[in-house]
Chain A
Amino acid sequence: MTAAPSPASFVTPAHGLGVRLEHLGKQFGAKRVLDHIDLAIPAGQFVAIVGKSGCGKSTLLRLVSGLDEPSSGRIVFDGAHDGEALRIMFQEPRLLPWARVLSNAEVGLPASVKGEQRHARAHAILAEVGLADRAGEWPSVLSGGQKQRVALARALASGPRLLALDEPLGALDALTRIEMQSLIERIWLEQRFTAILVTHDVSEALALADRVLLIDGGRVALDLDVPLPRPRQRGSAELARLEGRILDQLFAA
């Protein structure tokens, strides 16, 4: 890895990492959670996965991010990638409570970044998520939304090529959630990593994603392109129509 000439230069568009799931299956004991999923996610796409609780959407994300092993099938990435290429963000911030905000952001940096460079890059990424002035705080004094921003900063610190988002906004209030959605969209537009967002909120999926997948009974029940321009108009007729279609499918199943 070449050293960044200036702290902000890590935001140069990294290209996304495409991924293909081939006959992917996952069982926990006798319970089949995912059943032969075949799916290709091109580099740089923003995919949202929706579904009822327990439909296997989080399991799918955990398999892609390598936190669980598939029971059958395989996951193929487009080309080689290192450990810094994949990052996951969880519903809870999962910050280190005894480390300040800046150090928490630094946790996401690759080991190859040393000394002052670490601080500089962590500062730059905190500025990116709007927390430049909170670098010296303990996580405990931050609000829920701010903690998630730190978690986002930590996830982005390595300049990931694929970002897995496991209901990252699920625990936030409605207004904070909309703010965070815009933030995630803006950063994704800048960096163009592949984004896989698991959410139970269909309107959130439609606000952010190029493509919405509905998982039901361990299979992909709906694969819907969302070819709408960004930034999307909340409450537009087109979004409402797509939302209706997804919800119909969700409840029909």
Chain B
Amino acid sequence: MSPELLALILDSTLETLYMVGVAALIGTLAGLPLGIFLATSARGELFEAVAVNRVLGVIVNATRSTPFIILVVAIIPFTRLVAGTSIGTTAAIVPLSLAAAPFIARIVEAAVREVDPGLVEASLAMGATPLQIVRKVLIPEALPGLVLGVTLAIVSLLSNSAMVGAVGGGGLGDLGIRYGYQRFMPEVMLMVVIVLIVLVQSVQTLGETLARRVNRRQRQG
């Protein structure tokens, strides 16, 4: 393979890492509180707000059920508003984050719901405030699930990032389509797939190791 092609693959890998990294960060920052709120705002719960909970639930579902490529195109005006432009790698971060946040929120919600309600009740009985319970009970208790959830979200972001070529986002997926498919260069396609496999494997292994580490202390109480 020519050095030019290798440089191209390296550039695309960096673009993918940049898009996925920033989108995972934004998605987590938005998805974590959203997920915790979804898990704790139903009737009789810590931050009871039934109506808000329902509305947010519908919005999350709507975002999750929109195919990513349609989401990318549909929110172009919003992307332009936020990123100043609707094309390019940085612009692609907007739809990627927007898709990642509700995904992460649902995973966080599931992890937080797994926390023993008895612990929450015991903390309430000792006068803990709802925010203290979130910080000192819910998040530490749900941590292994949260780590695995973010791992899952990053893997799904890697797959989504292949589609942002549609708005000039660049990255590995875009390279694979333009060179591997449209110019019929199977060796490029193969390299792209191999790099993606290595990325997914690394993310997954890292996430699982981290989850195991935070879980080590957390045997059944």
Contacts and interface: CB of A to CB of B under 8 A. Distances in A.
A61 B18 CA distance: 56
B125 A92 contact: no
Contacts of B119: 94, 96
Contact of B137 (A87, A90, A96): A96
Contacts of A147: 221
A115 interface: no
Contacts of B217: 97-98, 138
Interface residues on A, range: 20 to 34
B183 interface: no
Interface residues of chain A: helix, strand, loop or mixed (majority): loop
Given A96-B140, A98-B141, A67 B125 contact: yes
Nearest to A93: B221
Interface residues of chain B: helix, strand, loop or mixed (majority): helix
Interface in B88-138: 116, 118-119, 121-127, 136-137
Contacts of A140: 219-221
From A86, A98, A99, A138, name the one whose CB has the most chain B CB atoms within 10 angstroms.
A98
Given A67-B125, A107-B123, A139-B221, 11 more contacts: A66-B125, A90-B118, A94-B116, A94-B119, A97-B218, A97-B219, A98-B218, A108-B126, A138-B217, A140-B219, A158-B126
Interface residues on B, range: 20 to 34
Nearest to A110: B127
A65 interface: yes
Contacts of B137: 96
B121 to A, nearest CB: 6
10 contacts: A67-B121, A88-B125, A93-B221, A98-B140, A98-B141, A98-B217, A98-B218, A108-B126, A139-B221, A140-B219
Interface of A: 65-67, 83-84, 86-88, 90, 92-99, 107-108, 138-140, 147, 154, 158
B126 A107 contact: yes
A95 B137 CA distance: 10
B126 A94 contact: no
A88 B121 CA distance: 10
From B126, B127, B218, B220, name the one whose CB has the most chain A CB atoms within 10 angstroms.
B126
Contacts of B121: 67, 94
Nearest to A154: B126
Given A94-B116, A96-B140, A87 B221 contact: no
Given A83-B127, A84-B127, A97 B122 contact: no
A140 B216 CA distance: 11
Contacts of B221: 93-97, 139-140, 147
